Amino acid sequence: MVMMRMRKSKAWHVGLLLVAGVMLCALLAPILAPHSPTEQVLAEGLEGPSVMHPFGQDRLGRDLFSRTLYGGRISFWVATVAIGISLGIGLFVGAAAGYFGGWMDELFMRLVDILQAFPGILLAIAFAAILGPSITNVVIALSLIGWVGYARLTRGQILVIREMEFVAAAKALGGKDLRVILRHLLPNILGPILVDASFGFAAVIVAEASLSFLGLGTQPPTPSWGAMLNEARQYLLVAPHLTLFPGLAIVVTVMGFNFLGDGLRDLWDPRSEKKHWNGGRMPRKKKPAKRKKRPSVRLPVAPPSRPHEAGTDYRRAREKERLRREAQEDEGDGSASEG
């Protein structure tokens, strides 16, 4: 059933194609890049796209195509590590709060409420500023604010599933709490978690680019999409290609993960009717096939109220009926005379 929905989901195919394409380009950056991302040719600074440099060159003459490919490696590395750490913390906190309840639930959920009361990007900027500008500190800052969403989602799913019969059966058979959580609860909530994680990848890539744009992420000469946009903003009118290609890379990657999340939501949710494609509207219902018209059968028409309006068939029927009645009267008269 899941495979059938996967083949029919347009969002899944588009998202998978975009994400796989960008990820493959980032992984193969050492092979695909025509130049070193840090090689400087000052005499060719701010040159536009050409055969040797498809995306042009920045103010120091560095190849923008190579830097865009290597910047994708940084973004995917940060997103993978940050989502992995956030998922680990969120699953642990949410499962413990939802399964055990009581004071543990109150403690963890009040901490989640406090962290969610502040805008996530502001907390990330604050943590990154306190820890110092580096790519490692960006991962730590994004992980410290990213686990709260997964914790709340996990807790909600656990609260629903822990009351089901198979969980009660596992407890009745002597299953310990850790075994029940790992073997029976977590596998049944992976669908919503994976959907949320796919959207989380897009959010982390945008957050990393924002922190690098502000100077809190990767430091020169390491290429990063956000840092490249920060360097190019003063040349926006003179050399717009400096902002065009890194910006397009961010847009395509984020759009791919969003489409992938929509496709995963359609795959894991059997109640979904794939209404996210086609502008969020439900697809039009197909009109029922027209039935073939059966040949009309002519029903006998009741005789008219006036005898002179009757047709030939009706007059013949009346004549036969009159003759039959006369024959019956003759037979009745004959039998009466014999008696």
Close Cβ partners of 179 (under 8 Å, ≥ 6 residues apart): 170
Q: Is the pLDDT of residue 328 over 80?
A: no
Q: Between 279 and 22, where is the model more confident? A: 22
Q: What is the mean pLDDT of residues 66-71?
A: 93
Q: Give 329's pLDDT tier (boundaries 50, 70, 90).
A: confident
The first and second tokens of residue 115, run together, are 């962290």
CA dihedral 188, 192, 198, 203 (to 10 degrees): -130
The pLDDT of residue 280: 46
Per cent of the chain over pLDDT 90 is 36
- pLDDT, one tens digit per residue, over 234-259 is 888 888 999 999 999 999 999 999 99
Q: Is the pLDDT of residue 52 over 50?
A: yes
What span, in angstroms and rounded, lies between the C-alpha atoms of 291 and 272?
31
User: Among 71, 36, 29, which residue's Cα sits nearest to residue 53?
Assistant: 36
Q: 47 vs 67, 206, 316, CA distance in Å?
A: 15, 27, 106
The pLDDT of residue 66: 93
- pLDDT, one tens digit per residue, over 110-150 is 999 988 888 888 888 888 888 888 889 999 999 988 999 99
- pLDDT, one tens digit per residue, over 149-158 is 999 999 999 9
Q: Is the pLDDT of residue 298 over 60?
A: no
The pLDDT of residue 272: 52
CA 172, 176, 178 angle in degrees (round to 5)?
135
